[in-house]
Amino acid sequence: MQCSRTLRVLPVAVALAFTPLPAQTRYRVDVDGEWFHQEAGSRRLARLASGAVVRDAGELQGDWRKVTIEGWIFGRSVGTPALPGFDLAVTRDPEENLRVAPSANGALVARLLRGVQLLRVGSQGGWVQVRRDGWVRARALGAVAAVASTRGAGDTTAARSAAGNGDVDAARARATRPALLYRTPEGAEAGRLSAETPVRVLSRGDEWTRVQLEAWVRTADLGAAPPGVLLGVTAAELRTEPQRYEGQALRWELQYIATRTADEQRPDIPAGATYLLAKGPLPERGFVYVVVPDSLSGAVARLTPLATATVTVRVRRGGSRYLGHPVVDLLALEVKR
């Protein structure tokens, strides 16, 4: 019987028996533009971006949860605070972007309104890292599984070197019982892990551990992507390394929401161009802007809300200017029945 080692490395998230690390509850914003308030239901401070991650500040009042937002703001957009206990205040009118990284390409956390008081955390170049506590409707938040990194970027090489010298590789582990594999924590199932299967630990948390394994599959069971098309690239990867993926062709599964026409609020898309607002890439819960060429306008017109489609796209931007959503050009579309 012949088989081919065509699946070399498979990173997955799986619950294994490890000693828990200290965890801090985090939440993902599920409602784009959700208001961030000074107190529960009181003064509005900012509009949160869908997919942004906030930290639990430890208080709950009815339907309201106190959370902490943190990110980077352009240094020229903040000044002297008006209230004691704060370091800075937003001076740009009417609002300024708060981003996850000190870059105009960083994914959007929130749009801070003018006058919002902030705590200074650090600085880099012309950017300032800031933090603020506030209140959000609890139903607008989804829990994020805590995962803490166990090693730095160079530790894989070091572990392999140590193993080659006869030392114990601390990143090696094995399943103590049969376990389900998941594409992401709380996401879709990716398969099953048999008891005693060896894996390499990439990161671990209080509930989920990300592992990498080597496995064999039958060649006939694999479907090859078209030449030059990448599989398995997430929106999170686009936001983290936009330069790496811009111009690359990807295969994604998206959920269609609506068809829109670009205006000045979408500077990353040519004015007047047709684009799709879609959810994904599935199973991610964020949003994507898909620019539609004239040649595919007929196929797009037949889409119905919430339909799932397999698309081939080319990355225009890893994150849009205002909301941080990936912007891609549609190359091919196949609607799932």
Is 2 a residue whose pLDDT tops 50? Answer: no
Q: Measuring CA to CA, how many Å separate 44 from each of 95, 109, 112, 141, 198?
A: 12, 16, 9, 17, 51
Report the mean per-residue pLDDT for the chain. Answer: 80
Question: 176 and 79, same structural domain?
Answer: no
Q: What's the whole-model pTM score? A: 0.44
Q: Does the residue 223 lie in any domain? A: no
Is 95 a residue whose pLDDT tops 50? Answer: yes
Q: What is the pLDDT of residues 238-279, one digit of tens each?
A: 877 777 888 889 999 999 999 999 988 888 898 899 999 999
Q: Does the residue 1 lie in any domain? A: no
Strands 141-144 and 78-79: unpaired
**How far, in Å, CA of 68 to CA of 251, rounded?**
35
Q: What is the pLDDT of residues 154-193, one digit of tens each?
A: 444 444 443 444 444 557 787 788 888 876 665 567 778 8
**How far, in Å, CA of 194 to CA of 253, rounded?**
28
Say how many domains are in the chain. 3
Question: 138 and 33, same structural domain?
Answer: yes
Question: 181 and 45, same structural domain?
Answer: no
Q: What is the pLDDT of residues 106-155, one digit of tens each?
A: 778 999 999 999 999 988 888 999 999 999 999 999 877 554 444 443 44
Structural domain that includes position 80 = 26-144
Q: Does the residue 3 lie in any domain? A: no
Q: Does the residue 69 lie in any domain? A: yes
> What backbone phi and psi angles, to 5 degrees, belong to 288?
-135, 140
CB-CB contact of 316 with 261 (8 Å)? no
In sequence order, what are the beta bridge partners of 143? 27
Q: How confident is the model at residue 20 (pLDDT cuts 50, 70, 90)?
A: very low
Question: 32 and 140, same structural domain?
Answer: yes
